[in-house]
Amino acid sequence: MLDQSSDSLETIFQKALAAPKLFRNHDALRSDYVPDHLPFRDDQITSVAQVLSPLLHSSKPSNLLIYGKTGTGKTAATRHVLSKLTTASKNNGIQATFVYSNVRMAGTEYRVLAELAAQTGLSVPFTGLAVSEVLARLQGQIKNKKLHAVFVLDEIDYLVKLFGDRLLYDLTTSSDAIAPGFLSIVGISNDLQFKEELGARVLSRLSEEEIVFPPYTAQELTTILHERAKFAFNSGAYTEAAVNLCAALSGSEHGDARRAVDLLRIAGEVAEREGSKQLDEKHVRIALQKIDQDRISDALKSLPLHAKLVLIAAVKNDSSENKKSSGTIYEHYSGLCKASGIEALTTRRVSGLITELDTLGLVSATLVNYGRYGRTKKVTPQISQDVLRQAFQDDGVVSQLLD
């Protein structure tokens, strides 16, 4: 990186222009891309289509639950069917409304409802209303516009885990409130155990139909990846071995196609930036590292202020061996706060922040006992001071503290 800093922008652009183009269709490797053809998913696609097809006769389809681990094509297959259904209903003059929301992205019940409402053409404020109020308005909208709606709730297990099944209950039992419109729910879950967290009534309503997406086998994954590569890259722009390696490295044990595709895309970008004519195994390995680094650096940058301070307190070792107890970290931390004129948080909160850093993998914290001398979390930083400095260099207040 640094040794290129002498290059003027001109030469960088020149290089980019002169470099052979590897990608023919870059978008085909983006994670939200829905390919025309989903290999090895014909059965599932047919099933989904069958469940939803009553829409074309203007009657209410059954609610549907779709299961499968991450990267097994649930979302892609569902969206695929939805887009076909949209065109089919348009062509035949049937009105149907398809609404998609990823619950985890949305984050809260309220935002899920707001997102759903927005897609039915009803705008609700970003905040300020009671959840029940938004629900009532959404139901009103379905009723008044006589919508034939299908709500797809992706990562529905997340919703239930955090907020319980109340919202699902309300949505599945509202048919009276929304007649003559109707509403079917398609729930997509990564978690096969998810049903156990549902109340019996919601469960029976929601899982009128179920479809399971099995993980891809290593063989299938390789085939899929080759197909995508053929579509995304120019011919001769990649080696077979590189694609095989992507499949092997990223997904074969979980059958996770998304990760494999991501890896392939990043490897392609690496190769293109390098100006090489062909994507090969070397680039895949670099990409694998890069994904890791980016993940860490993103995590660091998006940390709230006090979490950053705590992390600095944990990493910045006065060379006295880098394991620290939460007590000493707190001392360091409050020192840092005083130095920069920030009010320090309580020990309880800092303890919580340490736990959060631990789940992010930025530090590792283990509970240790010293009997008579109490017990603490021993905190070992998982990243070096240099990495911190890199990530925080744009953050004036924080970066000063690292010197």
Partner DNA sequence: AGTCCACCGGAAAACATGGCAA
Partner DNA sequence: TTGCCATGTTTTCCGGTGGACT
Residue 114 and residue 131 in contact, taking contact as beta carbons nearer than 8 Å: no
Per-residue CA distances from 231 to 31, 394, 400 (Å): 15, 39, 48
Q: How far is the CB of 98 from DNA (least distance, A)?
A: 23
What is the C-alpha separation between 77 and 72, in angstroms, rounded?
9
Nearer to DNA, 93 or 125 (CB): 125
Cα distance between residue 184 and residue 359, in whole Å: 36
CB of 116 to DNA, least distance (A): 13
Of residues 17 and 373, the one with the C-beta less far from DNA: 373
- Non-local (6+) Cβ contacts of 237 within 8 A are 20, 21, 22, 23, 24, 277, 278, 279
Least CB distance to DNA at residue 344 (A): 7
Shortest Cβ 374–DNA spacing (Å):
2
Answer yes or no: are the C-beta atoms of 271 and 22 closer than 8 Å. yes
Shorter beta-carbon distance to DNA: residue 126 or 200: 126
| C-beta of 276 vs 328, nearer to DNA | 328
d(CA 58, CA 88): 13
Cβ-based nearer residue to DNA, 5 or 369:
369
| Least distance (Å) between residue 105 CB and DNA | 12
Question: In residues, how long is the chain?
Answer: 403
Binding site for DNA (CB under 7 A): 107-111, 125-132, 304, 306, 325-328, 345-349, 351-352, 354-355, 367, 369-377
Closest by Cα among 233, 264, 240 to 251: 264
Q: Min. distance of Cβ 151 from DNA in angstroms?
A: 17
Q: What distance lies between CA 353 and its chain's CA centroid?
A: 22
Query: Hey, CA dihedral for 87, 91, 92, 96, is it positive or negative?
Result: positive
Residues 6+ apart with CB under 8 A from 163: 108, 109
| Minimum CB distance to DNA, residue 378 (Å) | 9
Q: Which is nearer to DNA, 12 or 162 (CB)?
A: 162
